[in-house]
Amino acid sequence: MGLFSSLGNKISGETHRLGNKVMGALHKGEKFVAQHGGQVSNIAGTIGNVAGLAAAGAAATGIAAPLAAPLAGISASAKTIERVAGTAATAAKSVGAGRAAVQSGRAAVGAVGRGDFSGAVASGRQALIQGKTAKGLAMSLKK
């Protein structure tokens, strides 16, 4: 084996290892967003409501009127974060359900290849349910 062949194999192996690390990190991030996006959305919504109420109160009193504009800005920003976090959580859940549907579909095909038709039907049903879940989540993002 020549020097360039050996070097090429090392580069290829390291590239593959790095790609696996990146994919692992992406999956962890996706899982985190799916699990915690709703909480972030709820907290941001609460902050937005409180800041909006405080802005209205500050404007109504007249004494704290200079605080009304910054509080209204905080309220608007929090409401934006609420929407973005909710959308991100729904998108991550949709992607997860889609991946699960693909895995169940592959399991069904593998079961057919092994001659396990009852297992193939069960995996196919599961893939169908997960696919419908992914579609429903994706459709809710369009709204």
Calpha distance 92→53 (Å, rounded): 32
| Tokens linked to 143 | 């709204």
What is the per-residue pLDDT for 7?
66
What is the per-residue pLDDT for 47?
82
What is the per-residue pLDDT for 66?
77
For the chain, 143 residues long, give each residue's pLDDT as a single digit of tens: 566 667 667 777 777 677 667 667 666 766 777 777 778 788 888 888 888 888 888 787 777 777 777 888 888 888 888 888 888 888 888 888 888 888 888 888 888 888 888 888 998 888 888 888 888 888 887 76
What is the per-residue pLDDT for 117?
87
CB 91 within 8 A of CB 38: no
Calpha distance 114→96 (Å, rounded): 27
The dihedral over CA atoms of 42, 48, 49, 50, expressed in degrees to the nearest 10, equals: 110
